[in-house]
Amino acid sequence: MTANDTARPSTPAAPTTAPGSPPSGGTAPRRYLTGLTVISTLGGLLFGYDTGVISGALLYLRDDLQLTALSEGVVVSSLLFGAMFGALFGGRIADRLGRRTGLLLCAGMFLLGALGSALAPDVTVMVVARVLLGLAVGSASVTVPLFLAEMAPADRRGRIVTINELMIVSGQLLAFVVNSIIDATVGGDHVWRVMLGVAAIPAVLLLVGMLFLPDSPRWYALRGRYADTRRVLERTRPAADVDAEYAQIVEHAEADTAEEQKSPLATLRAHPWMRRVLWIGIGLAALQQGSGVNTIIYYGTTILESTGLGASASIIATVSLGVIAVLGCLLGIYLLGRFDRRPLLIIGTIGVASSHAVLAVCFLLPESTAVSYLILGAMLLFMLIVQTFAGPIVWLMLSEIFPAAIRGFAMGLAIFVLWGVNTVISFGFPIMAETVGSAGTFAIFIVINACSAVFVIRCLPETRGRSLEQIEDRFRRSTTMSDLKGDNR
C-alpha cells in the first residue's frame, strides 16, 4: 500500500469502481440499506434453517442411517464443531479479504454442505457435510452482523443488526414448517433428504445477491480506500450526515492502521483495554449459549416425543416454537428501539432462569398428554423470553463492542467460544438427560443463567446511541471494568 493510497483525500477522486460498489446517485439511502440488509441476512436465514432442520430430520435419519445415541450426538454436534472454526477463520477472512468476500465464501459452503448432507449415503459423509455447513454457519454468524453494524448509521444500527437475528429465527421457523409439510406430503424413510436439501435455494440467492453489494465503508477505510468509503456512505446515509461520519471513520482508520500492522494477538498484548473488551465479548458469547436455547431448537421434537407425543405431532408442535421465536424477535427489535441494551439483557437472563425453573417442575409431573402440552407451553415461554431479550441483544452487542483494528478477529474468537459452548451443551444434553433426568438438566441451566445475570450486572457497558467510533473511544479511555460501568444510563 503506497502513501498515495493511504492519504486522506480532501475531495475524493472518482476511483476505479470496486467489485460490488454501488453506482453514484439513484436509490435513496433507506431503500438501499433495506435491500442490502435483506440480501446479506440470507446468511442468517441459512444459519437458522441449517440449525433448526435437524430437529425434524433426526426422527427419520436416526432409523435410516441406524444412529446410536453416540452417533446421534455426533451428527447434531458436528455442525456446531464446524461452526467453532468457521467463526474463528471467518473473522480473519473478514478482516483480510473483506466482509463481502467472506459472505460469498459462506454462500458457497452453504450450497455444498446442503447438497452433501441431503445426498449422504452414510454417517461419515453426513458428518463431513455438516462440518462444512458448520464452517458456513460459524463464518456467517461473525460476518453478517459485522457487515451490517459497519454499514448501518448509529441511530439505526440496533434495528438493522437485529434483523439478522430475526432471519435466524425465521430460518428455524421455516425449517419447522418445511419439515411438517414434507413429512405430511412426501413421507417415506428418506424424507429427511428433502428436508436437508431445501437449504440449497437460499444459498444460491445469497451467492448471487452478494455479487452486487459493496464492502463496508469501515473496511475500505482500514485499507486506505477512502474514496470507496465515501461512495458507500453517500449511498447509505443522508447527504447531511456523510461529511461528519466520513471524517470520523477516516480519523479512526488512520489511528487503527498502525495497530493493525501487528498481528491481532500482538495488538491485544499491547493494549490492555482491548483485552478487557475481548473478555466482555467472550462472556457475552458464553451467556448466549448458556441460556440453553439450542437444546430446545435441536432436541425440541425429541423432548416432546419423549413425553408421549407421536413423531408427527411433535414435529407439528415444534412449529409453534418457531412462531414464538419470530414474534419474540420482533418484540425485541421494538424494545431495542426504545430502551437501553443493558437493562433489557438483565431482564432477559433473569427471565430465562425462571423459565428453566418452570420446565424443571413440569418434568417432575406424571407423564400424560396434558403434561406434554404443559411442557410445550413452558418451552414456548422460554423461547419467547430468549428471543425477545438474550438472542438479539447479545448478537447486536458483539457486533458493536470490538475496536476496528481487531474487529473481525475478536468477534471471530468470541463466537468461536459461543459455538464451543453450544457444541458442549448440545453434545452433552442427551447424556445429561439420561443421567440426571430432564428436570435435573434444566435445574443446571437455572444455575448457569443466574451466573449470567451477575455477569451482565457487574461487567456490561451500555452501547445504545453511540457510533462504533464513540464506543471504541470509550473503551480506550477505560482502565478497569468499573470505568466501563460508569456510564450505563
The C-alpha cell at 54 is 435437524
Model pLDDT for residues 263-292, shown as the tens digit of each residue: 777 778 888 888 888 999 999 988 888 888
Quickly count: other Cβ atoms within 10 Å of residue 23's Cβ.
9
CA 88 to chain CA centroid, nearest Å: 13
| 3-class secondary structure per residue, 42-80 | HHHHHHHHHHHCHHHHHHHHHHHCCCCHHHHHHHHHHHH
Model pLDDT for residues 24-52, shown as the tens digit of each residue: 444 578 888 989 999 999 999 998 898 77
Q: Where are the domains of the chain?
A: 27-213+262-485
pLDDT at 16: 39
| 3-class secondary structure per residue, 302-352 | HHHHHCCCCHHHHHHHHHHHHHHHHHHHHHHHHHHCCCCHHHHHHHHHHHH
pLDDT at 488: 53
Model pLDDT for residues 403-426, shown as the tens digit of each residue: 877 888 888 899 898 888 887 887
Q: Which residues contact 327 (CB under 8 A, 6 or more apart)?
A: 384, 387
What whole-number distance in Å separates Cα of residue 221 and Cα of residue 218? 5
Which single residue is written with the C-alpha cell 414448517? 177
Quickly count: other Cβ atoms within 10 Å of residue 389's Cβ.
27
What whole-number distance in Å separates Cα of residue 395 and Cα of residue 87? 13
Ranges of H-type helices in 198-310: 200-210, 217-222, 226-236, 239-260, 264-270, 272-290, 293-306
Question: How does the average pLDDT of the chain come out, rounded?
Answer: 83
Q: Which residues contact 489 (CB under 8 A, 6 or more apart)?
A: 340, 462, 464
pLDDT higher than 90, residue 102: yes
pLDDT at 103: 94
What whole-number distance in Å separates Cα of residue 342 and Cα of residue 348? 10
Q: For residue 251, which amino acid is it?
A: E
What whole-number distance in Å separates Cα of residue 482 and Cα of residue 445? 28
Task: Name the DSSP letter for residue 7.
Answer: S
Quickly count: other Cβ atoms within 10 Å of residue 393's Cβ.
26
Domain at 27-213+262-485, CATH from 1.20.1250.20, 2.60.200.20, 2.60.15.10, 3.30.559.10: 1.20.1250.20
Q: Which residues contact 228 (CB under 8 A, 6 or more apart)?
A: 15, 18, 21, 214, 215, 217, 220
What is the Cα Rg of the chain in Å?
Answer: 22
What whole-number distance in Å separates Cα of residue 429 and Cα of residue 452? 19
Model pLDDT for residues 455-487, shown as the tens digit of each residue: 988 888 888 878 888 888 888 877 655 555 545
The C-alpha cell at 463 is 452501547
pTM of the model: 0.76
pLDDT at 261: 59
pLDDT at 210: 93
Q: For residue 358, which amino acid is it?
A: V
Contact 433, 319 (CB under 8 A): no
The residue with greater pLDDT, 220 or 376, is 220
Region 440-454: mean pLDDT is 89
What whole-number distance in Å separates Cα of residue 252 and Cα of residue 64? 56
